[in-house]
Amino acid sequence: MSHPLAHTGFLTSPRTPRSEKILLVDGDELIGAKQNRVVNISILVGEGKRIVIPVSCVEHGRWSYRDRDFRSGNRSLFAKARASKMSQVSSSLSERGTRASDQHAVWQDVAEKSEALRCESPTMSMSDLYDGRAGELDSYAEAFRAEPGQRGAVVALDGKVTGMELFDSQSAFSKYLGKLVRSYAMDAIETGKRKRNTPSEVEVQRFLDGIKAAAGERFAALGEGEDIRLKGDGFAGGALAAEGRVVHLAGYEV
C-alpha cells in the first residue's frame, strides 16, 4: 500500500485586492514535502479558498521532508503515463466517487520510463528523468511557438495522433505550451525515431470526432465548476467547465 500522504495536498488561493483564481492543470508536478507529486485533475480555485487536492506520487524512494511546502516543478507528467492516470481517475470517480489514481501503476510508469531512458535516480523521481534529458527537452520546447489566437493543440508522435489539449484562453495555452511539449517529448525521445511523419487531416479529424463522441460523466468539481470525465472507444479524457465555458480539456488515445 502507498503512504496516505501521497494522495493529498493543500492549496489556499491568495486574497488579493482584485478577484483572482488559480488553475491547477491535470498532471502538473508539485515539488517538495515528503515526495514530489502530480495533480490528478484540473482544478479552478477561487480567491481565498482552501481545498484538499488529489495527487499521485512520482518519487517512489523518498519518504522524508526536504521542506514543508510545495512549489511548481514547471513540468507535467509525461503523456503516456498521464493518459493512463486519466483513465484511472475517471474509473475511481465513477465507481467510488474519489479522484484517486492507481498509485502503483504510476510508480511503474515512472520506473519503466527511467529504464527506457537509462536514467538513474536514487529516489525514482520523475524530475530526475526530466533533468537528465533537459537539453533534448529544451530543444523540443524551443521548436514550438503558439500561433496568434491559438488555444489548443492536437499532438502526434511518429505520425500517430495521440492526444490533445485545449484551454479557454490564448494566454493560458501559451503559458502551458512548454510543459505540454516536454511531456510529449519525453515519449518521443523514448522511441528514438527522428523522422517527421505528419498525420493526415482525416486522421486528426477522426481523433477529434472520437473525443466529441465520447460519453461524458459530470461531477461537482473540487474547486469551481464541473469535472467532466470522457470515456469512449479507445479514448480517455477529462475537462473542467466553469461559468459556462470549458476552462481546460485534455484527451488521449489509449
pTM, 2 dp: 0.87
Per-residue pLDDT of the chain (254 residues; tens, 9 = 90+): 233 333 444 444 444 444 578 899 999 999 877 789 999 999 999 888 888 999 999 998 776 656 656 667 779 999 999 999 999 999 999 999 999 999 999 999 999 999 999 988 888 899 999 999 999 999 999 999 999 999 999 999 988 999 999 999 999 999 999 999 999 999 999 877 666 788 999 999 999 998 888 889 999 999 999 999 998 888 899 999 999 999 999 999 88
d(CA 39, CA 199) in angstroms, rounded, equals: 30
d(CA 110, CA 119) in angstroms, rounded, equals: 11
Structural domain spans, the chain? 4-253
Q: Is 239 helix (H, G, I), strand (E, B) or coil?
A: strand
Sheet of 226-232, strand order = 152-157, 160-167, 245-253, 235-242, 226-232, 215-220
Q: 59 near 124, Cβ under 8 Å?
A: yes
Q: 80 near 187, Cβ under 8 Å?
A: yes
